[in-house]
Amino acid sequence: MQIPDRNSLLRELKNHLFFLKDAGYSEIPCESDLFTESVSPLNSSPVKSMTDNKKANSLIEVREELGDCTRCKLSQGRKNIVFGSGNPKADLVFVGEGPGADEDEQGLPFVGRAGKKLTEIIEKGMLLDREKDTYICNIVKCRPPGNRDPEKEEIAACNPFLIQQLKAIQPRVVVALGKPAASTLLGRNVPITKERGTWHDYEGFKLMLTLHPAYLLRAYTIENRKAVQSDMKKVLKELGR
């Protein structure tokens, strides 16, 4: 068997790290057998070792299945698929509607102004670590042009991947951010200001509805801030934190 040269190995490693980033990893899970089994490049590989972790591997498989997706027309205008980011084993998953311009540019969810607000809610309000304690994704993985709402066919094409993501992560709580996400997940028109703060079921997961951080930025009232605070308190209580 031919032993791969150093440059090929480094190239493979780089590709694999990019792949993990696309699958939502923000760090390499050192507790896995990744390093102990990778002593020889001939009989083991990082991909093989990662498969030992059922949940994490499932998320990788979901990303693999999504591939360079062209299942709906949103693929035509995107720069990057925004799969998700955070801890693939998180107890808490936030779900938005779809990526915006900043997210499309960077290939990461919630990185613009609304993303910063979400980070503030998670880190200052809930005293959690965004990358370690949560996973963040969207219903559609490609940016709708002009930030319009995703259409029915686009949601129908992409939503199975969200369900697969949740099944891979197995969070204890899912939070729908804003009316479009809440309405899509519950399959009906949700008056978010009335129904925020209430628990629902989504595919067997406990689902909390709250205001979208972008809405909070637009209507930065004490009432709205208190509403989100109160919703997140309920989430923390459910998580036992």
Number of residues that bind ligand SF4 (CB under 6 A): 14
Q: Per this entry, what is the length of the chain?
A: 241
Give yes or no for residue 69 binding ligand SF4 (CB under 6 A): yes
CB 41 within 8 A of CB 102: no
DSSP H or E segment with residue 208: strand 205-210
Q: Tokens 């559609």 map to which residue?
A: 140
Q: How far is the CB of 93 from ligand SF4 (least distance, A)?
A: 17
For ligand SF4, which stretch binds (CB under 6 A), given 16-24, 73-81, 105-113, 189-197? 73-81
Q: Tokens 């390499």 map to which residue?
A: 28
Count how many Cα atoms sit within 13 Å of the Cα of residue 112 in the half-sphere of its side chain: 13
Q: How far apart are CA 12 and CA 124, in angstroms?
A: 39
Between 91 and 154, CB nearer to ligand SF4: 154
Q: How far apart are CA 211 and CA 178, in angstroms?
A: 5
The amino acid sitting at 46 is P
Between 90 and 157, CB nearer to ligand SF4: 157
Task: Pick out residues in 81-100 that bind ligand SF4 (CB under 6 A).
Answer: 81
Count how many Cα atoms sit within 13 Å of the Cα of residue 151 in the half-sphere of its side chain: 6
Task: Give me 129's structure tokens.
Answer: 């670590």
According to CB under 6 A, which one of 23, 34, 60, 74 is a site residue for ligand SF4? 74
For ligand SF4, which stretch binds (CB under 6 A), given 32-40, 66-74, 88-96, 123-131? 66-74
According to CB under 6 A, which one of 158, 166, 214, 216 is a site residue for ligand SF4? 158
> In sequence order, which ranges of the chain are alpha helices (DSSP H)?
6-22, 46-50, 54-66, 101-106, 113-120, 130-133, 152-169, 179-186, 192-195, 213-218, 222-239
Task: Pick out residues in 115-144 that bind ligand SF4 (CB under 6 A).
Answer: 140-142
Give yes or no for residue 111 binding ligand SF4 (CB under 6 A): no
Q: How far is the CB of 61 from ligand SF4 (least distance, A)?
A: 15
Give yes or no for residue 154 binding ligand SF4 (CB under 6 A): yes
Give yes or no for residue 71 binding ligand SF4 (CB under 6 A): yes
Q: How far is the CB of 166 from ligand SF4 (least distance, A)?
A: 15
Residues making contact with ligand SF4 (CB under 6 A): 66, 69-72, 74-75, 81, 140-142, 154, 157-158
